[in-house]
Structure 1
C-alpha cells in the first residue's frame, strides 16, 4: 500500500485555503499492520512537512483524522481503508432548564436512587470514571478531591478546564464530595477523569469522541460517561465503543431529549452501552426524554441541581443528567465488586430496577418498558 501517496494527499488537502478545503474525515485501516506502517511513514514525513501536525491518530480505532480535499481519490486504496465524514455530536441537556441555583447537601436525584443507603458499604472509592464532555472546574469546592488530571483534546498543553458548565454538572452528580457547604454526589469517593472533547459552545465531532474513548482505554478507566449523542450511525464510533467494551470498560450513554417513543440517539443505541432515559420527581418519564425498547434504564434527569463553573451551582434537565446518576451507581457497585464485566453490569442494572409510574392518560396498551435505577437494589443484586 502506498502510504507516502496517501499522506501526500492529506498534505495537499491541508495546504489549500480554508475556503477550498474539504471536510474532515476519519480514515480507518482494515489491518493493524497497515495502520502501524502508515504511522511509521507519518512520523518520518512529519520531520519534513509541518502540515502533518494537523493529522490526528487513534491507535485503538486504527484511524487517522484529517481534512480531505477530494475523498473520491482515496477510493483507489480499495478495501484497505474506509473513510467516513466527521460529523457533529451534541450534548444532551435541555436548554430551557438551565438556571443558577444553590447547593442543597444531598440533591433529590441522589436521594431518590437511594445512594446514601449504600454509603456505609461503598462510596465508589478509587473507581475511575472518564467523563467525555466539556471538561471540569478544577477550582470547584465540591470537586476538590474528585478530579484527576484528565486530558484536553482541544489543547493538549492545558488541563481540561470547563468553559461551558455541562461537564462540571455531570462530574458533580457523580462524585461531588463537599459535605459542609456544597453537595454530595452519588459516588463521592470515585475519581473523575475529565476528557474535554466539547468546546465552550458544547460542540464536538465524532473524531473528538473517538480520541476521547481511545484515551480512556489507554488510561484504564472503569466507566465512561457519555452524556451526548447524534441521530446518525457512525462505523468509527461503533468500532471504538466496541473495543472499549471488550477492554472491560462500562459505557453509560444518554438516550436523547427528543421525547421519542421508538428511537434513541447514538451511541446509546449501540448494544455495548447502557442507555439511559430521564425521570422526574414523580417517578414518571420526563416529557423530553426518549423512551422505549432501546432504553435500558431510567434515572433522575429533571430539574437536577449540581456543580457549575466558577464554583457555582445550576439546575439542569436532560438525559445527560440521568446518565450521571447511573454512572455513579455503577461506581458504587464496582468499588465493592471490581471483577464484574460490562455485560454482567448491564444485566444487573436492568434487573435491579424499580417500576416507573405511568403518566396520566397512559393507556394499558402503551405499557412502560424498563424501570429506574436503584443503587441499593443494584448493590444487593451484585452481591448475590
Structure 2
C-alpha cells in the first residue's frame, strides 16, 4: 500500500539530467543549450573567461564571480568538449533544474482573515510548533521569540517560491524580498510553498512560527512554472550571504544521476560543484544553511541503491556536509513514510507531518487524521501541508532563535549547528542514527 501511495501521490524533485528507476520517475526536461562552467578558482573568474567561453562557441548569460562560475548558452553541439580543453576550467556540464520540495499532502483550512483571535489556530492545530517549543516554553527564554539580544534583526532567508508579504500573520515580520526568476521582479508567492515555510519560521497571528519575532526575507527562485536553474539558486545563496542574513532555508532539491547514459559523469559534476560552492560561500560568510532531506522515502546514503535498476550512482542534491539536513517526523514521534533518511546524510529530525501511523498501517481512509499534518500560512489563508519542506524551516527557525540569544554575528554556523544537534531529543536508536540524525530539535533545550 505504501509503495502504491507514494507512486500515485508523491512529486519527486528531479535535476535536469536525472533518471531514478527506483523512484518510478522518468527523465526530467533538460535545459537545452544552457551550461554551467566552473573554473578552478572558487573566489574569482579568470581575466579572460569571456574569451575562453567565446572560443568554445558559447556566450556567458550569467556570471557568478564570487563562486568562480558562469552560466553559458551555446549553439555548438561540441561546446562541452571544447570548453573542457581549457586548463582554467575544472568542470562544465548541462545546467540542471531544481524544484521546490512539493508537499506530499496538502489540505486547505477553510478559514479567512475575518475572524482574528490571536493564536487561535496555533492553540487548536499547531502540534508541530508546540513540539519544538515545548508548548511555547522556549518563547519565555532569552532570544526565544527571535528578538536579538543586541537589538539587530535576525533574518531568515527563504529561498523558495516567494512569500505572500501581505498575509496578516507574516507582514509584521517580513523584512524584504528579491526575485531571481528571469523576467520577474516581484517576490510575491504565486504557489503557497514559500509562504507556508515562512509562517513556520516567523508566523505571528492566528498561527505562530518557531520564532514569532524573527524576520523573514523572500529570495524567490521559483516562478509560475515551478522550477529554477541551479545558477539562479546559487545566485540567491550568494546574494543572501552578501546581504548578511543569518539563516537560509532551502526546502528544495533534486537528484543527480552519475553515469546517466545521456551525459558523462564529468558533465553532471559541474552543477553539483556550483551548488556546493554557493553553500560554502554562505557558510564562510556566517550564514547557517538548512535544507530538506527530500520526500522520496529512500536511503540517500547509498548512491548505488538509489539508482535502482540503473547503473551508476544517484546523489541527493544539495548534499553538502556543512549544511544542516533535516528529515521529517510525525506527531507520533515517528519517521514519516515519505522522508528520505540515511547514515551520514541526516543531521536532525523536525516535524513534517503525516496522516498518522494508524492510517498508514491499515489504509483505512477513516483513519486519515488531517490534524497531524502541519498547519501554516498560505496566500489568502491557511493550509495543512506534509513534507520535509515543513521540517526544514522549523530547524531554520530554531537556528534563528539560537542566534538571537547570543546576538547577531556572534556565533559561527558550525556553533549553531552544534547547539542544534547537541540539544536534540534522542529518538529511535541510542545516539546518532540515519533516520533522525542526532535527534528531534528542541528549542527549549537549545536555549538553556
Please classify the TM superposition score into its range, dividing by the shorter chain length.
Answer: 0.7 to 0.9
Q: Decide whether aligned partners of structure 1 residues 63 and 124 sit closer, same or farther in structure 2, where only a CA change above 3 A counts.
A: same
TM-score (norm. length: structure 2) = 0.70
Contact residue 22 and residue 68 of structure 1 kept, 8 A? no
Aligned CA RMSD, in angstroms, stands at: 2.8
Partner residue of 1:347? 418
Secondary structure (helix, strand or coil) at the match of 1:170 reads: helix
1:276 paired to 2:326 = yes
Question: Is the CA contact 1:160–1:196 (under 8 Å) kept in the aligned structure 2?
Answer: yes
Corresponding residue number in structure 2 for 1:23: 33
For residues 1-384 of structure 1, the aligned pairs below 5 Å read 22-31=32-41, 35=45, 37-38=47-48, 55-70=61-76, 71=79, 72-80=81-89, 82-95=91-104, 97-101=105-109, 102=111, 104-106=121-123, 107-114=126-133, 116-120=136-140, 121-122=142-143, 123-125=145-147, 126-155=153-182, 158-178=185-205, 182-232=206-256, 234-263=272-301, 266-293=316-343, 294-302=345-353, 303-309=373-379, 311-338=380-407, 339-356=410-427, 370-380=438-448
CA distance in 2, matches of 1:366, 1:214: 30
Query: Closer, same or farther in 2 for the Cα pair 1:201/1:283, shift >3 Å?
Result: farther
The CA deviation at 1:356 is 2.4
Offset of residue 138 of structure 1 = 1.6
Q: 1:166 to 1:224 in 2, by over 3 A?
A: same
The range that moved more, 68-77 or 285-294, is 68-77
Contact map agreement 1:225 1:251 (CA 8 A) in 2? yes
The answer as to whether partners of 1:149 and 1:194 remain within 8 angstroms in 2 is: yes
Distance in structure 1 (CA, Å) of the matches to 2:417 and 2:91: 31
SS state of the match for residue 313, structure 1? strand
* Secondary structure class of the residue paired with 1:145: helix
The alignment partner of 2:321 has SS state of coil
Between the aligned partners of 1:33 and 1:297, the Cα distance in structure 2 is: 31
1:305-349 Cα offsets, whole Å, 9 max, x none, are: 11101x211111100100011011111110011322111111221
Residues in 1 aligned to 2:447 and 2:424: alpha-carbon distance in whole angstroms = 11
Q: Please report the TM-score for the alignment, with normalisation by the length of structure 1.
A: 0.81
Q: Secondary structure at the match of 1:113?
A: helix
Q: What secondary structure is seen at the aligned counterpart in 2 of 1:83?
A: strand
Pick closer, same or farther for the CA change 1:74–1:250 going to 2, 3 Å: same
Per the alignment, in what secondary structure is the counterpart of residue 340 of structure 1? coil
Q: Is the 8 A contact 1:253 1:267 kept in 2?
A: no
Report how many residues are paired. Answer: 341
5+ unaligned residues in a row in structure 1: which ranges? 1-20, 46-50, 359-364
Give the superposition deviation at 1:367.
Answer: 8.9
Matched residues in 2 for 1:151 and 1:38: separation? 31
Once the 2 structures are TM-superposed, how far is the Cα of residue 261 of structure 1 from its aligned partner? 3.1
